Amino acid sequence: MKKINIAILALMGIISCSKNNEKADGYGNFEATEITISAESNGKIDFLKVEEGDLLESQTQVGLVDTLQLYLTKQQLIASKSTISSKSANVLSQKSVLAEQLKTIQLEKNRIRSMYAENAATKRQVDEIDGKVKVIEAQIKSVGTQNAPILGDLKAVDAQIDKINDQIEKSKIVNPITGTILTKYAEPGEITAFGKPLYKIANISEMTLRVFVSEIQLPQLKIGQEVTVKIDDVEQMKSYKGKISAIATQAEFTPKIIQTKEERVNLVYAVKVKVKNDGSLKIGMPAEMWIK
């Protein structure tokens, strides 16, 4: 009986040792696409509602750069546009008056020509009425020419107003993606400038594990394949389901962070694995990939 127990214990020890000696198929670190949000205008930051660790939704306004000077400039342009429009209205009213005069002269012209056809009017009367028509037509053309530069000025003012509106919109700090604030670089009341970083954000709801595998492991891998990802935990390694999203087409030398002395000359291939984050996974955290 003792011999049987000893044999069983020995067998369990062998199995345990074999499990402990198992190696992962790939080692690497978690990554996430980090986006640095920068200011698109110059001025004082009126407010910036972001704190490190906050979860922000996409297209949410989180801050504003002072727009007072832009607003005042816009009001000046609107006033200028009103003045220019009044000039155009005056020119157009003159054109309208001349158009009415032309209608009256045209009626008179038709009447005189009819009379001339019946020998009830002279050639001189016909020439005089024709001359009056040409004069009014020339005046209408002249008025239209006067209005052209005014319309050009109106278009120029409209373009400036559109530019100011664009600058006001860019003064709003709008969060572009759904994600978690990693780092905050600015505070309300500070003076910022175009291109100056305000905060860094990343979507960490799904992390990317970038691991490296040898050439002989490549036939076992394909995009979309499910694998097991493990991280260190208190008592034993914690497992996650992962899916391969990318496999490198070119080899590279084993990264220093994972290479051993024997592997320094080995070539490996980078593999990216998508993993749903339950809140435990962090950027830069080491992990293992298990194919089986």
pLDDT mean across residues, the chain: 84
Q: Kindly state the percentage of the chain with pLDDT values over 90.
A: 51
Per-residue model confidence (pLDDT) at position 146: 74
Domain CATH for 183: 2.40.50.100
Question: Is position 47 within any domain?
Answer: yes
The DSSP annotation for the chain comes to: -HHHHHHHHHHHHHHHHHHHT---SEEEEEE--EEEEE-SS-EEEEEE---TT-EE-TTEEEEEE--HHHHHHHHHHHHHHHHHHHHHHHHHHHHHHHHHHHHHHHHHHHHHHHHHHTTSS-HHHHHHHHHHHHHHHHHHHHHHHHHHHHHHHHHHHHHHHHHHHHHHHHHEEEE-SSEEEEEE---TT-EE-TT-EEEEEE--SEEEEEEEEEGGGGGG--TT-EEEEEE--SSS-EEEEEEEEEE-SS-EEPPTTT--GGGTT-EEEEEEEEEE--S---TT-EEEEE--
Same domain, 58 and 87: no
pLDDT grade for 205, boundaries at 50, 70 and 90: very high
Q: Kindly state the percentage of the chain with pLDDT values over 70.
A: 88
Total of domains in the chain: 3
Same domain, 112 and 240: no
CB 253 within 8 A of CB 2: no
Question: Is position 223 within any domain?
Answer: yes
Same domain, 159 and 181: no
What are 58-101's pLDDT values in tens digits? 999 999 999 999 999 999 999 998 888 888 777 777 778 778 88
The DSSP annotation for 147-193 comes to: HHHHHHHHHHHHHHHHHHHHHHHHHEEEE-SSEEEEEE---TT-EE-
* Residue tagged 């080899």 (tokens): 251
Cα separation, 181 vs 199, in Å, equals: 7
Question: Is position 150 within any domain?
Answer: yes
Q: What is the pTM of this model?
A: 0.66
Per-residue model confidence (pLDDT) at position 13: 38
Same domain, 183 and 244: no
pLDDT top residue among 290 and 7: 290
Same domain, 113 and 132: yes
What are 99-148's pLDDT values in tens digits? 888 888 888 888 888 887 888 878 888 888 888 888 888 887 777 777 77
Same domain, 111 and 38: no
CB 65 within 8 A of CB 45: yes
Domain that holds residue 285: 26-32+204-290
Same domain, 178 and 142: no
Distance of CA 160 to the CA centre of its chain: 23
Same domain, 73 and 209: no
Same domain, 152 and 192: no
Identify the domain boundary among 154, 169, 184: 169
Same domain, 194 and 50: yes
Q: What is the mean pLDDT of residues 147-173?
A: 91
Question: Is position 222 within any domain?
Answer: yes
Q: What is the mean pLDDT of residues 205-218?
A: 90
